[in-house]
Amino acid sequence: MKRVIAIGLLAGFLLLTSGLSRPDTGAAQACAPAGGSPPALILHDWSGSSPGPTPTFLRQNKTHLETLPFDGIAVYLRSPDGVDNITNAVMTNTPLGYPAMVRVLTPLKGLQFQNLTRNFAAVFSGRPPDFFNDWSTILHNFTDLARAAREFGLKGIYFDNENYFSNWCRYPEGVEYPNLPLKEYQEQARKRGRQIMEAMVAQFPDIVVISLHGPYISEPKAPAPLFPQWQTANQLMGPFFCGFLEGAGKRAVCVDGGKLFHLRTPEEFKDAYDWRKSGIISDRVNSAFIPAPLRLTWPAKSNVAFGINDRPTGKLDMLPEILRPTIAGALRHSDSYAWLCVERFTFLKTPQNGGAGEPWVNAVRQGRADALPKTGHR
C-alpha cells in the first residue's frame, strides 16, 4: 500500500510541475494493493427499519447481522428512548458532551464481531452556524465523538454531508454574510473542515472519515453527465472536504464517498475514479478551492470510494441482476471503501420478518465475489 501511495504521489507531482494541462478524466488508475485486502463494503441502512442500526440494535441482533455480506455498518447513534441522538446533533450548536456519547455507545462495549469489523459512527450534516460564526460547540462535539468512537472500537465517522436540514454549504443563499465574496467563504469552509479534522485526529490519530459527497460536488468543471451538475447549490462542500484533508495528519484517512448512484458500467466507475483522483487537480480544471500545496499530495491523501443505491436512479432501474455488477464495479474502482445505501428492503431484518429477500442479499454477496479476483489495475 505504501508503494502504491508513493507512486501516486510522485505521479501527481510530476504532472503538476510539468505545466501541461491534463484531460478531465485524468491519468490515474485504480490499483489494488498487491496481496492486500479488497475494499470494504459498508451497509448504510438506518431508515428502512425502526429503530435502525443503533448500538442497542446491533447487540440484540448480532447473530443475524453477522450473516450479512458486509464488512461494517454505519451505526445510528441514538439511545433506545430517543433522548440522546448523537447522529442528528453533532453538527449543531447543541452541546452533547462525552458522557452522552458513552451512554449511547455502551451497548457496543465488549461486542466482538467476526465479520462486521469496520463499523462507523453516522453523522448528519445538521444545522451548523454560518462558517464565519462560532463553531466551538461543533468542535467540542466532534472531539468527543472521535474519542468515543476510538474507545468503543469504531473505525471512524460516516458523514452524510448532504443538505437535509439546512443550506449549510450553499452560497450565497445559505450564508449569513452574502456580501462577502465566494473565495472568502471557500477559505473559511476549508478552515472549519481543517479545525474539525485536527480536533478529531488529536483524539483518534487513525480515524477514517467517509464524506458521502466528495469535492466533485463543488467543482464547476466536473464533467457531465459523469457528474450531475450540483455545483450551483453546493459551493462550500468541496472546500470543507479539502479542510479535512489538510487536517488529517499522516495517519487519518479521508474518504471521498462518491455518492454517484447513477454509475453502472466499469467505464463509468473508472472515469469517475480517474477524474476525482487526478482530473480535479489538473491545470485544465485549476480548481478555485484546492490550494496548490494540497494538489501536490492529493492522489495520496484523497481516498476514493463509491456509493450504490438499491432504488432506481432517474430512469436507471435497479434490480438484483443490476445490483450485482454495480457492486462489483464499485469495489473494483474504490481505494478502501464502498457503501450500499438501502432504501427499499432493509437488510437489518431477516426475510421472514420483512427484510430483503434472498435475491437481493445474494446480489450483494455475488457482487463482492466477482470483485475479489481483480488485482492490480481495476
Instruction: Tell me what pLDDT residue 59 has.
Output: 97
AA letter at 6: A
Burial of 96 (0-12, 13-18, 19+ CB in 10 A): buried
Q: Which residues pair with 75 in a beta bridge?
A: 121
Q: How far is CA 29 from the centre of its chain?
A: 20
What's the rounded mean pLDDT across residues 256-276?
A: 98
- Tens-digit pLDDT profile for residues 112-150: 999 999 999 999 999 999 999 999 999 999 999 999 999
Cell (9 digits) for 67: 450473516
Average pLDDT over residues 14-37: 38
Q: For residue 357, is pLDDT > 60?
A: yes
**Model confidence pTM above 0.95:** no
The stretch 203-229 carries a mean pLDDT of 97
pLDDT at 135: 98
User: Model confidence over 62-116: pLDDT tens digits?
Assistant: 999 999 999 999 999 999 998 999 999 999 999 999 999 999 999 999 999 999 9
Architecture of the domain defined by 2-371: Alpha-Beta Barrel (3.20)
Higher pLDDT, 49 or 190: 190
CA distance 195 to 295: 19
pLDDT of residue 46: 79
Locate 257 and state its grid cell: 464517498
Helix H or strand E segment including 201:
helix 182-203
CB atoms within 10 A of CB 20: 11
pLDDT band at 373 (very low <50, low <70, confident <90, very high): low
DSSP run (H or E) holding 272: helix 266-277
